[in-house]
Structure 1
C-alpha cells in the first residue's frame, strides 16, 4: 500500500490565495494524502476560507493557533500535527502540479535523503514562470554533490517547497533556532531554517533525487519572505546558516565558504544593520580569508554573469576595507 504523505501548509494572512494552494494539494494524483493546514492567527479572512474547504473534504486537517507564534514555530506545528510517513511542505503562496507526489515518491528509496523537482517562479500565471534549479535528467545524485552546491550557493533550492522528505527527518532537522555569534532571531525572520533542513538531512544519506520537470511553482509577490526581506538580509542570513553547517559537519569546504562570505560582505556594505561586521562573525572559530580562493570564485562568477561583471568588479575590489 502507498504510504501516507502529509502535505503541510502553514499560513498567515493569505485570504486571497490560500484556496488555490490548498486545492493544488488536494488535486494530487497520488491518493493517500492528508493536507495539514495551520493558520497562525490570521487577521484577515484566511481561517474562514480554510474552514469552508475543510468541511467539504475530510483529507484537510485544519488547525488554528490562538496567537501568532512566528513563522518557524508555525511550521513546526504543522509537523507536530502530521501523521504521514512522508512530508511535503507547501508554502501558502505556492502551488504544486497534480502529479508532484506521484513523480517524486518513486525516487525515495532507503538511501535517498529527499527528492525535489524543477521550479517555476511566477507572478500571476504559473505556466509562464521562469525555470529554476534544473540540474540534468531525472534520477539520483550523491548527497555530497548537493551539500557542496548548497554550501557554495550553486543552483540548488534552499526552499523545501519543491521537495519531499520523510516526516521523521523533518521532525529532527527543521530547527526553530540556529546558534550564531550575531544572535539573529531565526525563529522570527525564517531565513535559513529551510536550507538547514536540506543540509542536515542530506548529510545522513548517500544520495538525493531530482525530477527534471517543473512540478513546483513559487509565487513572487511583495508579501513573500524572499521579496519582503530587505537588501542583503536574505543572502547574509543564508550565509550564516552555510557557515554554521560547514563549521560543524564539512570542514573540507570551510575555506571556500569563508571566501564566499568575504565576497558577500563586499557586495552588501550595509551589513552592519544586521549585526554583522566581518567574516569572523559567521564562524565560532578563528578563520582566515584565502584571497587566491576569493579571486578564483569571483572570476568564476564573472564568467557566469558577463553583463554585470564590471559593475561587480568595481563594487567588490574597488572598495578598501
Structure 2
C-alpha cells in the first residue's frame, strides 16, 4: 500500500468514452512519479467504457474503479471522484485528455513552497496526434508567480487556463473549491452544463493562496472532438457562462474587478444575440445582486482596445 503522505490522486470522471478511455488510463499509469492512485468513476456509460476500465483495473492495482448506478450529471461525477480520493494532491484528468509521463514529477516540486496553491503546465490541443496540437497556456517562463497575476490575467483575457485538466491542486482545496452549484440570477444549472465550475476552482484557490506555479513545458494534451464541451459551444454558451462564474467570484470576493468584467460582458452581449436564450440580456443578469452592474467607460475602452490589438495580431 502506497503511503498517503505524498500520494497523488489522478481523478478520471468518464462517460461513454470506450474508444479513447484506454489512452487516458495509459497516460495516467505511465507517470514517472510512482505514488499515485487512479480514481475512475464511470457515470453509467451506455457503451463499453466500463468493460475497458475493468480490464485495466485487473492488470494494475493502482486503478480504483467505481460506477454510478445512474447518470449523475457531469459535476456530480467529478465530485464522486473527489470523494473517493485518498491522496494529498488531486490531478483531474478528463477522460478525453492526456498527460506526459513527467507531468507529476515536474509539477509536484513547486508545492515545496507552502504558499503555492496550484501548478499548471503548457498544453497542446490536438485532434489526431498530441505532438501536433496547438500550443496553449504558455504564460511566461517556468516558475512561481503571485496569485494576483492569474486572477487579473483571467479577467483581462490573457490566456490563462480555465480547465484544471492542465493543473494539479491539493485535494483539500479541490474538495473545498470545486462547486456543485454556482449562485446566479438566471437559475443556470452549473451542475449540469459544467461551464464555470472549473474556472472557479482556479479563481477560488488563487484567492486563498499567495502564489501559483507555471511549467512552460508542454505536459498536458487536450483532445479536440465533437463531443467536447468546448467545441460543442457555438452560440456563446461557453464565454457567457464563464462570465457568469466570474460574476459570482467578483461580486463575492473581488468587487474591484466588476468594472472590468462588466466591459467584457457588454461586448459579449453584443457579440452573442443568443445570450437571451440563457436568460442573459443585460450586465445585471450576471450578478445575484445588481448594485454594481454599471459599465465603466474607462474599462470599456480598455477592453475594446485589447480586442482590436488581438484581432490585428491574428
User: TM-score of the superposition, structure 2-length normalised?
Assistant: 0.96
- Aligned CA RMSD, in angstroms, stands at 1.1
The residue aligned with 2:42 is: 39
Is 1:302–2:275 an aligned residue pair? no
1:154 Cα offset (Å): 1.9
The residue aligned with 1:293 is: 299
Is 1:254–2:258 an aligned residue pair? yes
For residue 175 of structure 2, the aligned residue among 171, 175, 181 is 171
For residue 143 of structure 1, the aligned residue among 141, 147, 162 is 147
> Which consecutive unaligned segments of at least 5 residues does structure 1 have?
309-321
| Superimposed CA distance per residue, residues 134-163 of structure 1 (whole angstroms, 9 cap, x where no aligned partner) | 011110000011111122332100000000
1:296 Cα offset (Å): 2.0
> Which consecutive unaligned segments of at least 5 residues does structure 2 have?
none
- Checking the alignment, whether the CA contact within 8 Å between 1:121 and 1:131 is kept in structure 2 is yes
| Superimposed CA distance per residue, residues 106-135 of structure 1 (whole angstroms, 9 cap, x where no aligned partner) | 011210010000000000110010100101
| Equivalences for residues 55-66 of structure 1 within 5 A | 55-66=58-69
1:230 Cα offset (Å): 3.6
| Superimposed CA distance per residue, residues 204-250 of structure 1 (whole angstroms, 9 cap, x where no aligned partner) | 11100000101000000000111113410000000000111011111
2:7 and 2:259 mapped to 1: Cα distance?
Answer: 42
1:154 and 1:185 mapped to 2: Cα distance?
Answer: 27
The residue aligned with 1:123 is: 127
The residue aligned with 1:85 is: 88
1:209 and 1:150 mapped to 2: Cα distance?
Answer: 15
2:274 and 2:313 mapped to 1: Cα distance?
Answer: 24
For residue 54 of structure 1, the aligned residue among 53, 57, 64 is 57
| Superimposed CA distance per residue, residues 49-108 of structure 1 (whole angstroms, 9 cap, x where no aligned partner) | 000000000000000000000000000000000000000000000000000000000011
Secondary structure in 1 matching 2:208: coil
The residue aligned with 2:239 is: 235
For residue 29 of structure 2, the aligned residue among 19, 26, 35 is 26
1:253 Cα offset (Å): 1.3
| Equivalences for residues 184-223 of structure 1 within 5 A | 184-223=188-227
1:221 and 1:99 mapped to 2: Cα distance?
Answer: 25
1:188 Cα offset (Å): 0.4
Secondary structure in 2 matching 1:299: helix
2:268 and 2:156 mapped to 1: Cα distance?
Answer: 11
User: TM-score of the superposition, structure 1-length normalised?
Assistant: 0.94
For residue 276 of structure 1, the aligned residue among 280, 286, 298 is 280
Is 1:104–2:107 an aligned residue pair? yes
- Checking the alignment, whether the CA contact within 8 Å between 1:151 and 1:246 is kept in structure 2 is no
1:293 Cα offset (Å): 2.0
Secondary structure in 1 matching 2:273: coil
Name segments (4+ residues, structure 1) moved above 4 Å: none
Secondary structure in 2 matching 1:117: strand
Greater shift after overlay, 291-300 or 268-277? 291-300
1:56 and 1:142 mapped to 2: Cα distance?
Answer: 43
The count of corresponding residues between Structure 1 and Structure 2 is 308
